A and B are shown apart, each in its own frame.
Chain A
Amino acid sequence: MSTAVASPATLSGRTGHVVAAIREHAAAIDEAASFPIDSLQALRNSGLMGLLVPARYGGLGGDLHDLVAVAVELAGACLSTAMIWAMHCQQVAGIVAFGSPTLRERVLRQVAHGEVYIASVTTERGKGGHLLTADQAMDNFHVRRDAPIVTGGEYADGFLITMRDLPEAPPNAVSLVYAPRSALALQSNGSWNPMGMRGTHSVGLVLEGDIEPDAIVGPPGDFKTVAVTTFAPVGHIAWAACWLGAARGALRDVLRLLRSPADRGSLAPDSELLRHRVARVRMELDVMAALLARCLTDAADTERIEDIPVQLRLNALKVYVAEHSLQVVDTLIEVVGLRHGYLRDSPLRLERVFRDLRSASLNYANDRLLAANGGLALLDQGVNLAL
């Protein structure tokens, strides 16, 4: 069963243990574009798969602050593994908040023991990641779902799937359902050879099977409530923590190089240009961290989570961090130059982080969130900021 009991008791102890393990595999899974099975096993053994599972189900009972603290560290070692874990935590948060008592009892204990890794099935052909509509419908608890992109889909032990509630229901009557791998016939129909995030092994998947009546997560046909109050805030916070963590890890590595007596001579750490660039990088990281901290406060205030200024910030967090984490790494490549910054076998591995972070704006597209925020911003004539 679980080896979680053997893990260090503190969150930072558990995290440090896992970071060391996943750092070891990061280059190989990137090279092969293969799923980080060994890294996920380290996470399963650490208890961190159940970070957000309440203690009464055997989990660590962590909150979103804990999620951010862990995600930032994991992402500094391997962004693919961090995102796999963070998206699993997002699914778990949905079940914790909206699962039926029997579903929670059944699934959350397995999650806490590291036995169940949950993948998200929200994309459909044509609509991309648009969360709140679905063409494919459930019929009498039978699910058949063709999803173009499922991160870690070939390796997940369970799936949270968006489906149109009934064949006659409108496209916006979306239900979220949980299905264990054992209940589904799976057909993987795609290869995975992307620019970055190569370890996430996000393949096309056709899933078919029957779900239990208690496996609808949240009110039937009302996935919107789950999305607005839990899925979107947790998702944006978790992704932002991962991207920020990757950029912070890059600065850490670069600072180690710039500070090293053996290497700094060739990098002119006393030049004004370098100082300005390093200053801007650090400034961006502080700005992103401040926005993330503010969004953690927003997410904890469930009464006001649907308020327009709050929705604007939660969307802005995703867009801003996606853009600026990439920009930070781009600047760092300028700072250290071709040999340390651009070569694939440079120990800094900035080129991998750069490729990985290029996906951030596309992962639930910034363009779509900006269109949504443009509409919301026009509604908020008072321009209510978090001041």
Chain B
Amino acid sequence: MNDIFVAVLRRRLIYLAPDAPLDPDAALRSLGLDSMQAVDLVFDLEDELGVVLPDEAMNAATFATARNLWSAVSDAGASAGVRP
């Protein structure tokens, strides 16, 4: 997980204290990410990391944990030939 990814994600995790570490396997929902914000998170990640997440990645599993989301971002970056 690179720094930009973590920073973008943390903006949406209102229940995660600024000084607390981000556990890659913690449920993002319990940290404050709701389904209404998912699309805004996608827009931010795409804009700031220069990737486009595919339709196949738009499911609950992708947004369940930071690890899953990073995996989708990495795959999108790899298929676009950029390194997120």
Contacts and interface: CB of A to CB of B under 8 A. Distances in A.
Nearest to A265: B47
Contacts of B52: 261
B76 to A, nearest CB: 12
Interface string B37-81: 001100100110000100000000000000000000000000000
A264 B43 CA distance: 9
Interface residues of A, number: 4
Contacts of A261: 46-47, 52
A307 interface: no
Interface string A116-144: 00000000000000000000000000000
Interface residues of B, number: 6
Nearest to A262: B52
Interface string A259-274: 0010010000110000
Nearest to B52: A261
Contacts of A270: 40, 43
A270 B52 CA distance: 17
A264 B42 CA distance: 12
Nearest to B46: A261
A122 to B, nearest CB: 42
Contacts, number: 8
A261 B43 CA distance: 8
B45 to A, nearest CB: 10
Interface string A237-271: 00000000000000000000000010010000110
A270 B47 CA distance: 14
Interface core residue of B40, B43, B46, B47 (most chain A CB under 10 Å): B43
Interface in A263-300: 264, 269-270
Contacts of B39: 269
A354 B46 CA distance: 32
A284 to B, nearest CB: 20
Contacts of B43: 264, 269-270
A269 B41 CA distance: 12
B36 to A, nearest CB: 9
A124 B36 CA distance: 54
A264 B47 CA distance: 10
Contacts of A269: 39, 43
Contacts of B46: 261
Contacts of B40: 270
A261 B47 CA distance: 7
Contacts of B47: 261
Nearest to A264: B43
A259 to B, nearest CB: 8
A5 to B, nearest CB: 33
Contacts of A264: 43
Nearest to B58: A259
A261 B51 CA distance: 9
Nearest to B53: A259
A264 B40 CA distance: 12
A269 B40 CA distance: 9
A270 B39 CA distance: 9
B31 to A, nearest CB: 21
B59 to A, nearest CB: 15
Interface in A184-230: none
8 contacts: A261-B46, A261-B47, A261-B52, A264-B43, A269-B39, A269-B43, A270-B40, A270-B43
Rank and list the top 8 A-B pairs by shortest CB-CB distance, nearest first. Answer: A261-B46, A270-B40, A261-B47, A261-B52, A269-B43, A264-B43, A270-B43, A269-B39
Interface of A: 261, 264, 269-270
Given A264-B43, A269-B43, 6 more contacts: A261-B46, A261-B47, A261-B52, A269-B39, A270-B40, A270-B43
